């Protein structure tokens, strides 16, 4: 049985530059690896708020008997409203460990993996929302193709969508095994060692859980709440989410853009509201050898400066 290992555990928490009396947010509790390490470094007046929309993750979080800790059963795009409800105006750091968690992948009944034949669910929050099977049963072929192309970067997206629509006309596509077989008939070639269904399963999962939209909505909220010197520490696992993180941090770390030939000194432009901290961090060879799922992880860290937030246009 696979044992859950938190990816880039110490690197992500070290990146927060924790202050013992600070207030921190773990946007993706998972199985609590980052949260427990943060709590171990906080003093008696420190505070940690964690988010997770997975009921099993929330149940795990409730086993932490610590008055400094609170779990919020919501997606992290509810960042502002949740913190308002808790009476928290600003925080000293925010950690985001993106994507699907190992327990979600390894529990067959969740329907995230083509390694098991199970109900085609894929919801991170099993208490609400549309399942993957429900969406595939009614979605237009063009919409299915668009999702698989954009979120899975699958070059055979049209063929896969066509195959799904043809298959569902014969019988409902209700299991992961059915979907994997359908995709295998449509994907003619694949990278060595990669299952033909990999990209399609990723795409459908991202769509069902609105993962990229959640991320894009949350980054500005987290940024707005950071105190001066507060850190944003984000781990991404694929290029789509990392692109959003990289672009957001780069834009916020760039002072006002002026024409290159304008006679203005750099010192007069002012400080950017966010400062990048170090270079992107990847898992060590040792960590990847012990946990192959760490291979694609990339950690980016940024720090809030004293500069005012830019006006939204």
What pLDDT does 2 receive?
43
Q: Are 27 and 21 in contact (CB under 8 A)?
A: no
Residues in the chain: 313
Which residues, at least 6 apart from 83, have a Cβ–Cβ distance to it below 8 Å? 25, 49, 89, 91, 225
Is 15 part of any known ligand binding site?
no
What pLDDT is recorded for position 101? 67
Q: Is 112 known to sit in a ligand binding site?
A: no
The answer to whether 97 is annotated as binding is yes
| Cα–Cα distance for residue pair 287/235, rounded to 1 Å | 15
Q: Residue 234's pLDDT is what?
A: 97
Q: Tell me what pLDDT residue 106 has.
A: 59
Domains and CATH numbers, the chain: 9-102+211-304 (3.40.50.150), 126-208 (1.10.150.170)
User: pLDDT 10s digit of each residue in the chain, 313 long?
Assistant: 345 678 899 999 999 999 999 999 999 999 899 999 999 999 999 999 999 999 999 999 999 999 999 999 999 999 999 999 999 999 999 999 997 766 666 565 676 676 778 999 999 999 999 999 999 999 999 999 999 999 999 999 999 999 999 999 999 999 999 999 999 999 987 777 788 999 999 999 999 999 999 999 999 999 999 999 999 999 999 999 999 999 999 999 987 654 555 555 545 556 899 999 999 999 999 999 998 888 899 999 999 998 876 655 4
312 is in an annotated binding site: no
> How many CB atoms neighbour CB 248 within 10 A?
22
Number of neighbouring beta carbons within 10 Å of residue 260: 5
| Extended beta strands in the chain, E state | 23-26, 47-51, 69-72, 91-97, 226-236, 274-276, 281-282, 298-304
Cβ proximity of 231 and 16 under 8 Å: yes
- Residue 107's pLDDT is 67
Structure confidence at residue 195 (pLDDT): 84
Gap between the Cα atoms of 45 and 48, Å rounded:
10
Q: Is 52 annotated as a binding residue?
A: yes
Per-residue model confidence (pLDDT) at position 313: 46
């Amino acid at each position: 049985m696979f044992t859950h290992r938190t990816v880039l555990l110490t690197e992500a928490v070290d990146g927060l530059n924790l202050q013992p009396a600070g207030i921190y947010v773990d946007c993706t509790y998972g199985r609590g690896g980052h949260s427990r390490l943060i709590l171990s470094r906080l003093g008696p007046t420190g505070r940690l708020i964690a988010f997770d929309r997975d009921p099993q993750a929330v149940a795990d979080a409730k086993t932490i008997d610590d008055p400094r800790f609170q779990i919020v059963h919501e997606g992290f795009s509810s960042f502002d409203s949740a913190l308002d409800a808790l009476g928290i105006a600003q925080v000293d750091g925010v950690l985001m460990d993106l994507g699907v968690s190992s327990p979600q992948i390894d529990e067959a009944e969740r329907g995230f993996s083509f390694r098991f034949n199970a109900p085609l669910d894929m919801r991170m929050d099993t208490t609400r929302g549309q399942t993957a099977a429900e969406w595939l049963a009614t979605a237009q072929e063009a919409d299915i193709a668009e999702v698989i192309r954009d979120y899975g970067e699958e070059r055979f997206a049209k063929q896969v969508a066509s195959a799904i629509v043809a298959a569902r006309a014969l019988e409902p596509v209700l299991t992961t095994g059915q979907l994997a077989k359908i995709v295998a008939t449509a994907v003619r070639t694949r990278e060595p060692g990669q299952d033909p269904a990999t990209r399609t399963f990723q795409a459908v999962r991202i769509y069902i859980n609105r993962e990229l939209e959640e991320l894009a909505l949350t980054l500005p909220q987290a940024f707005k709440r950071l105190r001066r010197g507060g850190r944003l520490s984000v781990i991404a696992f694929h290029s789509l989410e990392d692109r959003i993180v990289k672009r957001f941090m780069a834009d916020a770390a760039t002072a006002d853009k002026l024409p290159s030939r304008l006679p203005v000194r750099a010192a007069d432009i002012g400080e950017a509201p966010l400062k990048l901290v170090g270079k992107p961090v990847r898992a060590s060879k040792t960590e990847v050898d012990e946990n192959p799922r760490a291979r694609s992880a990339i950690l980016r860290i940024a720090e809030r400066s004293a500069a005012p937030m830019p006006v939204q246009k």
